[in-house]
Structure 1
Amino acid sequence: MDAEDERGFREFVSARSPALMRLGFLLTGGDQHAAEDLVQAALAKLASRWRRVDAPEAYTKQIMYRQQISWWRATGRRVEVVRGAVPDLPGRDRTHQSELRVVLRAALAKLTARQRTVLVLRYFEDLPDHEVARRLGCSVGTVRSTAHRSLARLREVAPELAEELEAAK
């Protein structure tokens, strides 16, 4: 990598790291260290191909999705991680949004990596089903059924989220 390529890569990393970390955090179910590992692995792969990549952010996200699935497949289905008690239904004070994030993170951690990935791609990245299926290498039906089961599981493990969504309507 020459000096100009290195400068461009460093600018990309500086500008997009926070967004990539948020995505990594969601994909790993709230595991900060795993999210950092995921982003670092993706950026290392991007650096080796920097000169040939036209859309570095899309390329990096694709690496992250595939890497997370590879890690999930290599370790098998993840054992549920217990993370303290889920707080009571949050009130409407200043801490309401923070409490909802805590509840959501705990609920996402109880999903499998595949379920989290489908939800992140569909609702956080706002991708259509066919694009999620293409990125994950599965059928559109698999994406839809996985999303349906994932949302049902979220409602089951965090009913306060469903109540909050109903209240927001």
Structure 2
Amino acid sequence: MSSAEDDEFAAFVAARGTSLLRVAYLTSGDEGEAEDLLQTALERAYRNWDRVRYDNPEPYVRRIIVNTSIDRARRRAILRIIPMHTPPEPSPYETDVDLRHVLMGTLRALPPRQRAVIVLRYWEDLSEAQTAEILGCSAGTVKSQASKALARLRTALGGRSSEGMIRNVHA
């Protein structure tokens, strides 16, 4: 790769790295895993930078993050080492911080594909079509996975609006 391409890649990472790390964290639920996912995605993007740089490279990197996260979760499920966290019961005196903990715990407990849909649709505010493209599925699959995931989140939040909570939790 030329020096100009290296500089272009470094500028992309500097500009979008934090956002991509957030996607990695939300899809994996673990800081260390998120850093590994981002490193893997950036390494793959760097190897293909001459091809990827002409389009918008961010969706390409997001897709790598999401797919790698799903693959790793499947491998852990096969080995049966996925920790299942039970969200705490909401108390009548809970604060927004408590709600965030419940939401994040429930998000971590979602199946990887549902978690990816929620992260991309509501945290990253992507359209159904954009989310479907990143996940390599149909818009209908995105809708059904979002519906199932939101129902689980709504139950964990005691009937509160999960969509509004999801959009506001990282604000």
Q: C-alpha displacement at 1:86, in angstroms?
A: 5.7
Matching residue of 1:5: 5
Which residue in 2 is equivalent to 1:82?
A: 85
What SS is found at the alignment partner of 1:159?
coil
TM-score by length of 1: 0.78
How far apart, CA to CA, are the structure 2 residues paired with 1:164 and 1:135?
21
Question: 4+ residue runs of structure 1 moved beyond 6 angstroms?
Answer: none
Q: How does 1:10-159 map to 2 (within 5 A)?
A: 10-28=10-28, 30-53=29-52, 54=54, 55-76=56-77, 79-82=82-85, 85=88, 88=91, 89-91=93-95, 96=96, 98-159=97-158
Percentage of matched positions with identical amino acids: 39
Per the alignment, do residues 160 and 80 of structure 1 end up closer, same or farther by CA in structure 2, a change over 3 Å counting? farther
Residue correspondences, number? 161
How far off is 1:57 after superposition? 1.7
> Mind listing any 5+ residue stretches in structure 1 that lack a counterpart?
none
C-alpha distance after superposition, 1:46-84 (max 9, x if no partner): 111122222222221122122222223333377343378
TM-score by length of 2: 0.78
Q: 1:39 to 1:164 in 2, by over 3 A?
A: closer
Instruction: Please tell me the residue identity of whatever aligns with 2:84.
Output: V
Deviation at 1:114, TM superposition (A): 0.9
CA RMSD of aligned residues (A): 2.9
Counterpart-to-counterpart distance in 2, 1:126 and 1:163: 15
